[in-house]
Structure 1
Amino acid sequence: MTEAGPNNLSTPAQFVPQNVVEEKFASVGKPMYLSLVKLIDDDGREITTPDTPGELLWSGPQLFSGYWENPQETAATLVDGWVHTGDMATVDKDGFYYIVGRKKNMFISGGENVFPPEIESALYDIEAVRECCVFGVPDEKWGEVGKAVVSLKPGMILTRGEILSALDGKLARYKIPKYITFVDDVPKNNVGKIVVKQVTDLYGKAED
């Protein structure tokens, strides 16, 4: 990110054995030289337990000095010498980092943090799914529950029940979407990236 230099994490193949590259294929790597990193919880406490999600923070000599003529945004992003990225990540016992989602897209169901990319990844494992977007919607019992907006590959058919069956056993039950809406196309921007805000504006009700 530009606020913390162009590169902060890497797994340089010339310095990492092939078996480690394969084992850590989903990782974004380890901190590069001079890049300081930590994960914090919602209360700002540093997370030291492996595989526990937290917000990714950067520090070091590569940090920006602030946003041009925007002291409020600078104060919100650069706190005590640490850039708050808004990315949620985990780090494993070997020091490799994994991005699990954006903090603003995370939702809480029954007191558990839920990260849409994990659910979307499981949905993409279903052959008929072409595109999907998962987000949280209000629920009286659980606070929030997941909703999936799904488009299918041409000529393929998939039911709500088949999706739930495919996700059962792959995801914890609180992560399985309660609502599933089928659409022809999931809203995207002009470069083909799914825009979560547009999806929620159109399909953000707690219904199929």
Structure 2
Amino acid sequence: MCSRSDNKNPPQAASRTDDVKEQLDDSESSPWPEDHNLSASPTSCGCILQSISSMYNKLMYSYMTQIFKKGAAQRIDKSKDAQLTQHDLYRTPKNIDAAHLNSEFWSIYEQTEQHFKRTLWIVVRKTFIPAGVYQLFALTAQISIPMCVMKLLQALESGRSGDGNNIVYVIAIFLLAIINGVCTQRYQFLSYQSGILLRTALTCAIYEK
């Protein structure tokens, strides 16, 4: 009798092995950009510049540009090796990571003497309150834009088209439109994140119990 020494893994087993390797390589993904902590001194110029850059990235989501560029390159040139993979995606934000959130939930639950509603509020307030602030700015801009337009039209109808104050209304309308757009999308993003926080915390708590 002789045994086969050239046995090969069946295609399905090889496929499963590749899937496991791909999951293990998830650590190669870049961390969520908004989790970046400033390492510079609070009084240094570098810290100020990093703070401005961080705020710009949060409001404009410029950290997604690289992913969009790669996806667009694949769409334009089909022969180009621009296939998007899981390594192109960022890791899960720390504040909605299931393991971290579950530990935080039970820790707060014990600190609040098992007060369920208060625990949920403490968990979600770090995204819910900023969402409310951004919505306040967005609503203020939405209310102010028609008022500026009305003032501008009144000035034009009264024959004061050459008045230098009219340019102030035009600039105000332009700036308010930008504020409205930026604050609205940030408010929506934080609102969705608040919902994910609550759902993840509750799901982890239910399964652990």
Q: TM-score, normalised by structure 1?
A: 0.26
Point out the structure with max Rg over C-alpha: 2
Name the one with the larger helix percent: 2
TM-score, normalised on structure 2?
A: 0.26
